[in-house]
Every structure is written in structure tokens, then in C-alpha cells.
């Protein structure tokens, strides 16, 4: 590979690192051709881009990033490294987890992940990452929580509109009755004699 080809590869990786919201660093070395094809198919179906890259070229692409800091991942660039890049924060983690369960293999192995400028290191973070909610899911949850009391109030008011009208009428009638009693029929309290 000549210098120009290396530069093109580094530039291509740099663009993917810059544009990717969720970047997983994995080890897939050790899978046979059938397993590799199965993993690639799962990634394609899940909207995840799977790239096998040379560590040296990946490091150069990572060092060239201005908006993202990948320095914590430099120590992970040993053996073979594959990138799984996705718009969804949990899609690559779910693919890895499902693949491991179905195939009973030790790979793919999660080395680390860079998600929305947060850093996750180590395979033990896989469960956490597979349960992450996307920004859209979190916004939906918050909106649902905010709408719930409003919906309950509107529902109570609309279902009890007849009751509310009756209640207001009863209160008004009682209020008029109370006014009559206090003005016309209210008993006068006797004054207690004052001790001399």
C-alpha cells in the first residue's frame, strides 16, 4: 500500500469518526468466514456499518479529530480492531450481545465505545450500552411523563362535567342558604357576665 492509498484510507476513516454518533471499537478476530458473514448481515440489517481497519491507520485518523477526543482508546488498539458505527447508541451493543448468545463465541469483544462524546471502556459495559436509550426515546419518555397529569386532569374534567355543573349549583344554592341563615335567623350569642 503506497502513501496515497494510506492517506485516502485515513481520510475515509476520519470522516466516519467525525460523522458517527455511536462508535464501537471491537475485536472480531477469531470468527470463521460463516460467522463473519453472519455478523456482517446482522450489522447491515441493524443499520450498523462494520469496518475492519489497521490500528496504525485508525490511530492516525483518531489523532486528526478536532471535535472528538479519542485518546482514551489509543491503548485499545492492539490485535485487530473493527469499528461498528451507527446512529443508534445501542444498536451495535445489541448486535454484539445477540451474536454472542446465538453463536456461543467469545468474539466479537467490545473494547470500548464513544457515544455522544461519552467514553465507555471494556466488554463489561456491553449490558449497560445495550440498554441505553436514544435521545429521541428519552425525549418521548419525558413528554409522556409531562402529558400524563394533563391528560388525567382533562379526562377528570370532561367525564365529570355533569358532576361539576351539579356540584357548582349545589355550592351556589348552599351559599345562598347560608347567607339567609346568617342574616335573618342567626342566633344572637348571649354575653357572659363580667366578674367584678
Per residue in 147-173, pLDDT (tens digit) is 777 776 666 666 655 566 666 676 677
User: Which burial class, exposed, middle or buried, applies to 184 when counting CB atoms under 10 A from its CB (0-12, 13-18, 19+)?
Assistant: exposed
Question: What is the pLDDT averaged over residues 130-150?
Answer: 76
Question: What is the pLDDT averaged over residues 28-49?
Answer: 91
**46-55, 153-162, 176-185: which has the minimum mean pLDDT?**
176-185
| 70, three cell numbers | 479519542
pTM of the model: 0.69
Residue 28 predicted with pLDDT over 70 = yes
Q: Report which secondary-structure segment, H or E, holds 50.
A: strand 49-53
Residue 185 predicted with pLDDT over 80 = no
Residue 61 predicted with pLDDT over 70 = yes
Query: What integer best gives the mean pLDDT of the chain?
Result: 82
Split at pLDDT 50, 70, 90, the class of 96 is: very high
Residue 20: closest CA among 52, 55, 62: 62
Alpha carbon distances (Å) from 190 to 111, 182, 195: 90, 16, 15
Alpha carbon distances (Å) from 165 to 154, 160, 181: 15, 8, 24
Mark residue 69 as left, alpha or beta (left: phi above 0; alpha: psi -120 to 50; beta: remaining).
Answer: beta
**What pLDDT was estimated at residue 164?**
61
Amino acid at each position: 500500500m503506497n502513501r496515497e492509498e494510506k492517506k485516502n484510507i485515513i481520510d475515509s476513516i476520519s470522516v466516519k469518526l467525525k460523522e458517527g454518533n455511536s462508535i464501537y471499537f471491537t475485536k472480531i478476530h477469531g470468527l470463521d468466514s460463516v460467522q463473519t458473514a453472519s455478523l456482517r448481515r446482522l450489522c447491515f440489517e441493524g443499520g450498523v456499518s462494520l469496518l475492519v481497519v489497521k490500528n496504525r491507520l485508525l490511530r492516525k485518523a483518531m489523532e486528526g479529530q478536532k471535535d472528538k477526543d479519542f485518546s482514551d482508546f489509543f491503548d485499545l488498539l492492539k490485535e485487530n480492531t473493527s469499528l461498528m458505527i451507527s446512529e443508534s447508541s445501542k444498536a451495535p451493543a445489541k448486535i454484539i450481545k445477540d451474536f454472542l448468545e446465538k453463536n456461543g463465541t467469545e468474539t466479537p469483544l467490545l473494547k470500548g465505545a464513544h457515544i455522544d462524546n461519552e467514553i465507555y471502556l471494556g466488554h463489561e459495559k456491553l449490558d449497560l450500552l445495550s440498554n441505553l436509550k436514544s435521545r429521541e426515546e428519552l425525549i418521548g419518555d419525558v413528554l409522556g411523563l409531562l402529558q400524563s397529569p394533563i391528560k388525567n386532569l382533562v379526562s377528570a374534567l370532561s367525564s365529570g362535567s355533569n358532576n361539576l355543573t351539579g356540584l357548582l349549583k349545589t355550592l351556589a344554592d348552599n351559599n345562598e342558604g347560608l347567607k339567609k341563615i346568617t342574616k335573618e335567623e342567626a342566633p344572637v350569642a348571649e354575653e357572659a357576665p363580667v366578674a367584678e
